Amino acid sequence: MSKYMILSLLLLLGSTPVIAAKQSYKCYLLTTNGPEIAFYRWKEQDLPTKQAELVASKRKDNRGKAYYVKDVKECTLLSEEFSSAEAKALDKKTLR
């Protein structure tokens, strides 16, 4: 009897889906307010969808004034560097 319980437990543990961990990303955005670096936390498999959803999304500045994302030039892991020189320069100036 205990063999069957142990076997059942092992099968149950082996069949549980792996939960995808979220990753931290930084994105170089062109907005109606000018270029900016924004930070997000997404699942890796959701990156293309989430990146596409950013275009035309509404954001607010420090004063509460709304502006929009015109284009997403690049998204990369938080620990990696951007490929474009403009994004690298802006990233150095951006507070974490």
**Residue in the structure block whose two tokens are 């500045």:** 61
pLDDT at 49: 97
Residue 43: inside a domain: yes
Owning domain of residue 57: 18-93
Confidence of residue 93 (pLDDT cuts 50, 70, 90): very high
**Residue in the structure block whose two tokens are 């997000």:** 40
Rounded to the nearest 10°, the torsion over CA 35, 39, 44, 47 is: -30
Residue 27 burial (C-beta neighbours within 10 Å; 0-12, 13-18, 19+): buried
Residue 5: inside a domain: no
Confidence of residue 7 (pLDDT cuts 50, 70, 90): low
Neighbours of 82 (CB within 10 A): 19
Residue 80: inside a domain: yes
- Token readout for 34 is 């000018």
pTM, rounded to two decimals = 0.78
pLDDT digits (tens, 9 = 90+) for 33-80: 999 999 999 999 999 999 999 999 999 999 999 999 999 999 999 999
User: What's the mean pLDDT when you consider all of the chain?
Assistant: 89
**Paired sense of beta strands 34-43 and 22-31, if any:** antiparallel
